[in-house]
Structures are given as structure tokens and as C-alpha cells.
A and B are shown apart, each in its own frame.
Chain A
């Protein structure tokens, strides 16, 4: 592939912007850190929510701003495109340790200047020492939890101590139609009814004041862009661009303060809200959601009034996509292994049903898909919703994009998703209106607060520990799990129970670690800007971190490697218990020795073990049993904000780092290698093609796992190219809906191309692959993850 090939848009403007985009490197931005630190120093003693609102305001008023040539949508969260905002209030100790290797590290390096390092070391790190969420958390978690939760890799709960919770979507539809001034007025009205003499009102007064400060701050930022556009307009010599800048200046004068009147205004307003969210706390998964629904009235009226042509609408969408790709998440070395690829997980959702149950697919749904074909960048993530009666034309469009091999779109099944949302207590209309946030997580737009990455665990460690009596072979043979007994004389059912005991132990520890993280967010980092845009908070005068949202759910515990556990149990059952050709001693000995010098045993197992993904109940039933068990354990605990924890089965990228700490497994997987991702079969073991994979995966009760489940399916592009390729994908998708699976995405890149990309990364800069729930630039991934992608089974379609 030639590097020029990323220029696939029909618009010259977009191709130029793409050219420019590919010159950019992810870098570190410390403007926010400097400004927040200053404001925090000057506001010691004031209520935390007010301090944060004031810092946000100062940031809006002082941050660097710029407008690039050719842009139709303007504004950025950081000081420059693709720069990642550092938020010291969450965690700064990791950066202190890693600052000197930040630009050279293996996974997701960021450019950093010496001057920045100096400032960080002299004034930022020292101020935040002992004040961050992470610092508090490490001091507050009990010793026994620490032993499994910190730096063992068996469970990972650190992400929510390092960044804002994210995974949220402000009510874009409401804001676009009402404007921010409307909310400010509402807050003022509420404020006028409160009384400092009433103890309960005290926090509310702080909340409303913080909301007003934050929202006015965003308006002031928009005005700065309006002024800049105006100034550039005066200096501009090209008459076309001059007119565009003039228009942009007018738009930014109006939105987000006032409701949008045109499609262009609505999209620019959306973008201001998006960057505002990132600026308040650089978290993951701020997701605009159902753009084809709430932008439709603007589109329709502009087309009818001939304000815009169909092409101009598409061009604005493509400009918006480029802006999304500029937002960059900032993560420690460890966290970057779990969330590889600089992904901020901004999710756009099209298709599905409307709140009243009728078909929601419209002209804009197709435009957002088309734009994704033209602008093949890793972000935004494009999700589609399909259901039994989705138009065939829509499925064919989905198939066409799937065939391109970028991993987009992520395809979600309304039948399963709506059931999930109903379980959270949502009304049926709200449930039908779900969107996606992050990779695959269903969410009710503008009404929900949930953490979908409360903690990660892996199923494979549970069987390792059952066989070692709780010792972690990859953590220096330390006793990390409980002692469940010597497996040698166990019956198979006893062994299964021991496995469950370990799973239960992982889950219990995540629950404790999560409680503390949630509590600390409430105490240290309220989010008044975001809260003002989430239904419920304004009525109650409560921040999202203390349960202000109409629907507060989660946090979620995310499991990966269910295929590894199922395959392991099936192998043991078959060889040790059923045909008794391998003894338990032999099995344990092989695992402890990573199958070294045990080639015959390894071969026999690899060639004859039943494997998840082949529509074989012998093994698939374990997947159902173990995920049901995890679901029951997780939902048996209550979270800090009140509701029960929720379960999810998607890995993001965690199957790779989790794999590093899992010993050899009974089914022949070697120690340290990646686990299977989400609900997907283990690459290379699904020998019966895509229909069998779907059948196996359908045996998991997807609708119970409210945080979402994930299935990655690799397709051979060579056959997908066939004339009927799209029809076949469409038929597979209809079957996927019938099977009540929740999510699927296709990866249609061939291995040869990926190997080539490993050798010549420069020529493959625009190559995107889907790694477990999201897309990333292939050449930006670490070697292990690249190898994992190459190893996945290729299905012919």
C-alpha cells in the first residue's frame, strides 16, 4: 500500500487535511496541568467542586487555540492536534517515574520537550504529591487487596485511579436544541430557591455555582474561537476561505450558548461539547452517539432550504471525523498495554430503532458510514445498530465498510442491547434509544453515569490457580489466590469448584478496589461541566460522581479469555477424566514446565482438544457456565454509588497484558502469550468457520453482561472480494441477530499484508486494524500485539 492511499476522500479539502494529519505525532500537552496547578494553589480551602470549575474556566480562557487551513469544524481540547492532555489530579506519580522514557517506550510513546519535563519536575509533580486519586487509593486499599490488585496483572483496577471515568455521553440532542445558556438559566433558577441555612442545600449551592462557572467558561472558549476566526478572516486573501472563516466566526459567536439553527452549527456545537468533556478530565469514551438521529432535523431542513448540498453535508461530517482523530488519551506504560493505540474511544452510533420502536435508519446513517470509508482514521469509532427488520440496504452498506478491512463498523444487536438496558432499570423508550460508548458498551444518551472499566480480570488465571493451589507461577510462585486444595485427587467437579473459588476471589478484590476509587472520585474530582449535561444532576443538584444521573449503573468488571478457560476445562475433562490418557500429575507438571520437553503431550493436546468456537457443546457449555458464574458473583456486590456492579466480556486490549502473567494452560497455550479476546475463540483453534464461531459464541448469555460483550471475527479479504461477499456478510449478520449475540466486528486484512507492515511501517501508516473492540494504527502497536493479530484465524467469506 502506498502512503498516498489514505487519501480516499472525494473532497480535496479532506485529502489535504489527511496529508497534514499523517505528519502529526502523538505528543504530551501540559498546558492544562500548569493552569490547574496554579488555580489549585490559589484556591486552597475552597470547595473542591468550585476549585475544579474555576480551573476549568481558567483553562478555557488561557489555553492555546488555533484554526487550521481547510478546517470546517474548529477547536481542540489540547494545545495542538494529537497532543494528549495530562491531568495531574488523577495520577502524577506514574508520569514522574516515566517522564524520561515517555517518548521512547514500546507501546504508545508520546513526544515530549525538555522544557516540558523541566516544568513538570519543578512545579507540577511536587505540588500534586500525595494529593492525587492514585496516591490516596494506594494508601486506602487493604493490604490483602493490594497483594493481588497492584502490579500482579492478575486483575487490573488501576485505570480508574489514573484518569477521569469517561464512558459517558452528555445529552447532545438536548444541548443542540436548547443551547448552554438555557442550562445556565436553569441552574440559576435552582440556585435562587436554595438556602444556606439548610444543611442539605449547602452542597447543592456549590454544585450549581460550579455548573454555571463551567458552562460560561465553555462559552468564553467558543467566543475566543470566533474572534480568532474573525481575525484570520481579515488577513485571509483567498476569497473562498475568507467566506468560510466569516461563517465560522458567526457560528462560534452563536453556539454553544444558543441552540443550533443549521446542520453546520449543530456539528460545531457538538464538537465544542466534545472538547469541553476532554478538557474537564481527559477520560476515555466521551461519545456523541446517535448523530444520525439528533442531527437529522438540521440536515433535512438545510437540504430542503438548499442551505447545504448533500455533498457539503458529507464534507462537514468528514471534517468532524478528522477532529475526532486529533483527540488523544494519555496513559501510563502499564495502562497503555490494556488500552493500546492512543484510542480515546469516541463512539458514533447509527441505525437501529427509534425510542418508539420504529426503524431509525435514515439518509444520515448512510452518510456517516460513507464518511468512514473516505476518512479511514482510528477515531471516531463507528458503531452500527442492527435488528431483525434493518433494511437490507443498510446491512449491505455495513458489509461494504466491513470488507474494507479497517475493523469498522462495530456491529451491535438491538435485541440484546435493549434487554441489557432494561436490566439497568431504564424505561423501554430510553432502552431503545441506547447508543454505544467506548468500544462496545451500551449506554443511554445523556441520562447515565457508569464506569465500564471498573476493573479487568481474566478467566485463565482462575484455572491456573486451581491447578497450583493459588500460587501464581508468573509472579515468582507467590501465593496470590486462596488455597483451594491439592488438585491431584480432586474430581472434575471439585476442580471446577476450585476454579470458581478463584474467580470469585478476583471479583471480590476488584469490588473493594473499585469502591475506594469511586469514593475518591466523588471526594477529589467532581465533574460539574459533564454533570450539568446529564439528566438528573441538575434536578437533584448532585454531581455524577455522587449519583446525580438519572441512571447510575456499574462500575463494570470486564473479563477476558473465556475461551482459554473453557478450552482448559474441556482438555482436562477429556484427557484426565474421560479417556484417562493423561494423569493430573502429568498435566500439572507440563504446565509448570511450560510444556518444555513434553512435546508429545503438547501435540496430542493441541491436536485433539475440543476448543471453543467449533459449535461443540462439550467445551462451549463451560463458557456459558463460567460467564454465568462471573455474572452472578459480580452482581452480588453493591457499588459505592448504590447500584450493583455489572459484568462485561470485552477486553479492549487487556488479553495481551493479562496473557503475560498467565502460565501455560492445559490446552497447550504457552506461558506469557496473549489470551483470547472478549468472547472470541482463541485464534487458530476455531477450525469450522464463521458459522460455528457464531454458534459457539451464542451460547454465552450476552444480555446478562450489561457492560457489553465482544466478538472479533477475522475474514479473508480475498474471498470477501467475491461478488456475493456483501450479501454473505449481510446473511451472517441476520443470523448473528437471530442468535442473540450482542456484538461482532470483522477484520478482513490478510496476514501477508500485516507481516509486510511489520517490516515497512512507514509505508503502512494509514493501515488500521481492529484490536479487540477498537481500531488502532497497526504500525503503532507493539510487536506482541501485532503478532497476535497475525495469528488470528482467517475465515473465508
Chain B
């Protein structure tokens, strides 16, 4: 079984055509800018959306171990054993469990429903997260089945996994979107909690078995220096199977999710995304003869 936090249909920014995007729950990295913090932990996790709460007190009454704070209805996450009773009773979509377990046939059933749209748009399935490789067995079986059923497959990975795990998934994948967050392993460690050696090694190995799109999240003041981007471009240039480089400008849309999880958002004071800078970086990539795209069009005026 695979633990999934969300399935998003009509996805249009993660691979060609109209796709269904599957968010696997659990990730080995802790990037400071992560906009999907609910996908970081590989276990059922309750979010508390305070603005939806109508203070009915039902959760307080039902919690068998007193893990709900009286007045605020906050969850005491130290003692909560995730029995989900409060989730079941909450009428207001305020306490929600963001993890759902799927078998492969269940997930196939789910993605089959949009087949007509994949077919007419050259789209398909993209497994993202979280980190799909954390649940490599499930993902590999699922993608294998997808390919048997003639569905185009893609994954989005941070690259931090044992090579065998990556390989087991990549062999059933038509497109790999591979994140490179920083070329300097020390900074990488600070920004994400892990060094980049394994990631870069995996990228090089992957090159021999799969077409790769390198994705760089552009986080103002953290990894957007010309030096770092140029280093990433040079690294990518050495890949034989490089498709293109995509830039993903930072956006703050994930911020409110941190408070739902009672987590600290570290990027509160980040300087705003500079549109010109993004376009310059795009030109820089192109100057190396590599195809470049800016993925989010949130800040791009045409």
C-alpha cells in the first residue's frame, strides 16, 4: 500500500498534456521553502485549519486521551496517537487527516478515470510528493502497471535515495523531473538537511537510463546566485539525456500549511521574487544551448 496525501486531476505543469498528479507522503529532505510540508512525514498526519473551526468542542469531547487543548482545540502532538477520532467527528473541515492508503489497483482505478483526457492531450500520470522514491516499491509497481496499460508516466524526485530504488522506479518512467537545489553540498545541507553528493551521483547514473528534466527551485537569496545557477547548468550540460532545465520561482502559497501542522515557517522574511532575475537566469541557461522554461506563471506577465 502507498500513503498518498492528495491526487490532483487536470494537472498541467508537471509533464506534457493533461495529467493526474499523485502526491506521495514522506520525504527525506526538509527544504526550508517546501510548499507541501504536509507531504514530508510518512505517516497519517492531522492538520488543524483554525479558520474553519467553529469551536463546537466535538473533538475535545471525543478524544480518548485528552490530546486536544480545551479553549483552543489545538492538538497536543506530543501525546496524540493519531487515532483520527477527532477527524471523523469534526463537522467543519477543520481537523483533516491528510494521508490516505491506496493499493495499486485502487490507484490505477483512480487514474483510469481521466484516460480520455490523457489521450487527447498526450498527457498521463505524474508521481510527485513528498518523495516518490521513499515508497519506491509501491511506486515502481504502480508505474509498471501504468505502462502496461499504455499510460504515459513521469516522476518528480529530489534524487535523494538509494540508486537501486531510483533505478527500480525509473525503468517504468517516461519522464524524470529531477530537482537540484544547490551545487554546494554544505549549503545544500543547511537548506535541505542533507548534502548533495548522493543526489548528483544519482543524476549522473540516471542519465544512462532515462531522459531527464532538471528542475531548479529559485529561492531568493538562498540559491539564486548566478554562480550557483551557472554551476548547475554546467553540471546538467554533462548529462547526455538532458531534456531541458526548468526554473521554479519561489512562491509563498504553502505558508499557511505550516500553521496547520504546527510547524515553523522559516521563510517569512524572504525578499520577493524578482521577475527580471528569473528571466535573466532563463537567458543564461539558453546561452549554454539548453532548452529553458519557467514553470510557474504566477509572476510572469506576458
Q: Do A and B bind each other?
A: yes
Residues of chain A whose beta carbon lies under 8 Å from any beta carbon of chain B: 599-601, 603-604, 607, 615, 688-692, 694-695, 719, 721-724, 727-728, 731-732, 734-735, 738-739, 795-797
Q: Say yes or no: A739 contacts B91, CB within 8 Å.
A: no
Q: Which residues from B are CB-within-8-Å of A607? A: 91-93
Q: Say yes or no: A732 contacts B117, CB within 8 Å.
A: yes
Residue B113, interface by CB 8 Å: yes
Q: Say yes or no: A689 contacts B9, CB within 8 Å.
A: yes
Q: Say yes or no: B92 contacts A739, CB within 8 Å.
A: no
Interface size class of B (residues with CB under 8 A): 20 to 34
Contact of B9 among A691, A724, A735 (CB under 8 A): A691
Q: Which residues from B are CB-within-8-Å of A688? A: 9-10
Q: Say yes or no: A735 contacts B120, CB within 8 Å.
A: yes
Do A728 and B18 form a contact, CB below 8 Å, given A599-B54, A721-B302? yes
Chain B residue nearest to A733 in the complex (CB): B120
- Alpha-carbon gap, A652 to B302, bound state (A): 35
Contact of B12 among A601, A603, A721, A724 (CB under 8 A): A724
Q: Say yes or no: B297 contacts A600, CB within 8 Å.
A: no
8 new A-B contacts, CB < 8 A, other than A692-B9, A722-B12, A738-B116, are: A603-B54, A604-B91, A695-B113, A724-B12, A727-B121, A732-B117, A735-B116, A735-B120
Please give the distance in Å from A582's CB to the nearest CB on chain B: 11
- Alpha-carbon gap, A441 to B137, bound state (A): 53
Q: Which residues from A are CB-within-8-Å of B54? A: 599-600, 603
Q: Which residues from B are CB-within-8-Å of A691? A: 9-10, 18, 114, 117
- Alpha-carbon gap, A738 to B115, bound state (A): 11
Q: Say yes or no: B10 contacts A603, CB within 8 Å.
A: no
- Alpha-carbon gap, A728 to B19, bound state (A): 11
Q: List 23 A-B contacts (CB under 8 A).
A: A603-B91, A603-B92, A604-B91, A607-B91, A607-B92, A607-B93, A689-B8, A691-B9, A691-B117, A692-B113, A694-B117, A695-B113, A719-B12, A722-B12, A722-B297, A731-B17, A731-B18, A732-B117, A732-B121, A735-B119, A735-B120, A738-B120, A797-B12
Please give the distance in Å from A390's CB to the nearest CB on chain B: 12
Q: Which residues from A are CB-within-8-Å of B56? A: 600
Q: List which B219-254 residues lie within 8 A (CB) of chain A.
A: none
Q: Say yes or no: B117 contacts A600, CB within 8 Å.
A: no
Q: List which B1-35 residues lie within 8 A (CB) of chain A.
A: 8-10, 12, 17-18
Which 7 A/B pairs are nearest by Cβ-Cβ distance?
A731-B121, A604-B91, A689-B10, A734-B120, A603-B91, A607-B93, A731-B120
Q: Say yes or no: B91 contacts A600, CB within 8 Å.
A: yes
Please give the distance in Å from A713's CB to the nearest CB on chain B: 11
Do A719 and B297 form a contact, CB below 8 Å, given A603-B91, A607-B93, A615-B113? yes
Please give the distance in Å from A63's CB to the nearest CB on chain B: 50
Q: Which residues from B are CB-within-8-Å of A719? A: 12, 297
- Alpha-carbon gap, A168 to B12, bound state (A): 42
- Alpha-carbon gap, A690 to B9, bound state (A): 8
Please give the distance in Å from B3's CB to the nearest CB on chain A: 20
Q: Which residues from A are CB-within-8-Å of B116? A: 735, 738-739
Chain A residue nearest to B297 in the complex (CB): A722
Please give the distance in Å from B234's CB to the nearest CB on chain A: 28
- Alpha-carbon gap, A603 to B56, bound state (A): 11
Please give the distance in Å from B144's CB to the nearest CB on chain A: 24
- Alpha-carbon gap, A147 to B93, bound state (A): 43
Q: Which residues from B are CB-within-8-Å of A795? A: 10
Chain A residue nearest to B13 in the complex (CB): A722
Q: List which B71-95 residues lie within 8 A (CB) of chain A.
A: 91-93
- Alpha-carbon gap, A727 to B17, bound state (A): 9
- Alpha-carbon gap, A299 to B147, bound state (A): 51
Q: Which residues from A are CB-within-8-Å of B58? A: 600
Please give the distance in Å from B33's CB to the nearest CB on chain A: 22
Please give the distance in Å from A367's CB to the nearest CB on chain B: 26
- Alpha-carbon gap, A615 to B93, bound state (A): 21
Contact of A721 among B17, B91, B113, B297 (CB under 8 A): B297
- Alpha-carbon gap, A604 to B87, bound state (A): 12
- Alpha-carbon gap, A694 to B92, bound state (A): 28
Q: Which residues from A are CB-within-8-Å of B114? A: 691, 695
- Alpha-carbon gap, A433 to B195, bound state (A): 67
Please give the distance in Å from A722's CB to the nearest CB on chain B: 5
Q: Which residues from A are CB-within-8-Å of B18? A: 691, 728, 731-732
Q: Which residues from B are CB-within-8-Å of A695? A: 113-114
- Alpha-carbon gap, A600 to B91, bound state (A): 6
Do A728 and B93 form a contact, CB below 8 Å, given A615-B113, A739-B116? no
Q: Which residues from A are CB-within-8-Å of B10? A: 688-692, 795-797
Q: Say yes or no: B117 contacts A735, CB within 8 Å.
A: yes
Please give the distance in Å from A740's CB to the nearest CB on chain B: 11
Q: Which residues from A are CB-within-8-Å of B123? A: 731
Q: Which residues from B are CB-within-8-Å of A739? A: 116
Do A731 and B117 form a contact, CB below 8 Å, given A691-B10, A721-B302? yes
- Alpha-carbon gap, A653 to B297, bound state (A): 35
- Alpha-carbon gap, A731 to B10, bound state (A): 11
Q: Say yes or no: B9 contacts A728, CB within 8 Å.
A: no
Chain B residue nearest to A721 in the complex (CB): B302
Q: List which B119-139 residues lie within 8 A (CB) of chain A.
A: 119-121, 123
- Alpha-carbon gap, A731 to B302, bound state (A): 23
- Alpha-carbon gap, A722 to B56, bound state (A): 43
Q: Which residues from A are CB-within-8-Å of B9? A: 688-689, 691-692
Please give the distance in Å from B95's CB to the nearest CB on chain A: 11
- Alpha-carbon gap, A441 to B204, bound state (A): 60
Please give the distance in Å from A605's CB to the nearest CB on chain B: 8
Please give the distance in Å from A689's CB to the nearest CB on chain B: 4
- Alpha-carbon gap, A723 to B297, bound state (A): 10
Please give the distance in Å from B179's CB to the nearest CB on chain A: 22
- Alpha-carbon gap, A789 to B154, bound state (A): 37
- Alpha-carbon gap, A795 to B12, bound state (A): 12
- Alpha-carbon gap, A603 to B18, bound state (A): 33
- Alpha-carbon gap, A734 to B119, bound state (A): 10
Please give the distance in Å from A737's CB to the nearest CB on chain B: 9
Please give the distance in Å from A718's CB to the nearest CB on chain B: 8
- Alpha-carbon gap, A604 to B91, bound state (A): 4
Q: Which residues from B are CB-within-8-Å of A732? A: 18, 117, 120-121
Q: Say yes or no: A728 contacts B121, CB within 8 Å.
A: yes
- Alpha-carbon gap, A688 to B9, bound state (A): 7
Please give the distance in Å from A78's CB to the nearest CB on chain B: 43
- Alpha-carbon gap, A689 to B91, bound state (A): 24
Q: Which residues from A are CB-within-8-Å of B17? A: 731
- Alpha-carbon gap, A666 to B104, bound state (A): 35
- Alpha-carbon gap, A728 to B17, bound state (A): 7
- Alpha-carbon gap, A734 to B117, bound state (A): 8
Q: List which B32-83 residues lie within 8 A (CB) of chain A.
A: 54, 56, 58
Q: Which residues from B are CB-within-8-Å of A735? A: 116-117, 119-121
Please give the distance in Å from B143's CB to the nearest CB on chain A: 21
Chain A residue nearest to B122 in the complex (CB): A731
Please give the distance in Å from A738's CB to the nearest CB on chain B: 5
Q: Which residues from B are CB-within-8-Å of A797? A: 10, 12
Q: Which residues from A are CB-within-8-Å of B91? A: 600-601, 603-604, 607
Q: Which of A604, A694, A739 has the most CB atoms of chain B within a 10 A radius of its CB?
A: A604
Q: Which residues from B are CB-within-8-Å of A689? A: 8-10
- Alpha-carbon gap, A727 to B91, bound state (A): 41
Please give the distance in Å from B14's CB to the nearest CB on chain A: 13
Q: Which of B8, B17, B114, B119 has the most CB atoms of chain A within a 10 A radius of its CB?
A: B114
- Alpha-carbon gap, A690 to B92, bound state (A): 25
Q: Which of B92, B121, B297 has the most CB atoms of chain A within a 10 A radius of its CB?
A: B121
Q: Which residues from B are CB-within-8-Å of A690? A: 10
Please give the distance in Å from B53's CB to the nearest CB on chain A: 10
Please give the distance in Å from B160's CB to the nearest CB on chain A: 30
Please give the distance in Å from B158's CB to the nearest CB on chain A: 25
- Alpha-carbon gap, A604 to B113, bound state (A): 27
Please give the distance in Å from A334's CB to the nearest CB on chain B: 39
Q: Which of B8, B10, B119 has the most CB atoms of chain A within a 10 A radius of its CB?
A: B10
Q: Which residues from B are CB-within-8-Å of A722? A: 12, 297
Chain B residue nearest to A607 in the complex (CB): B93
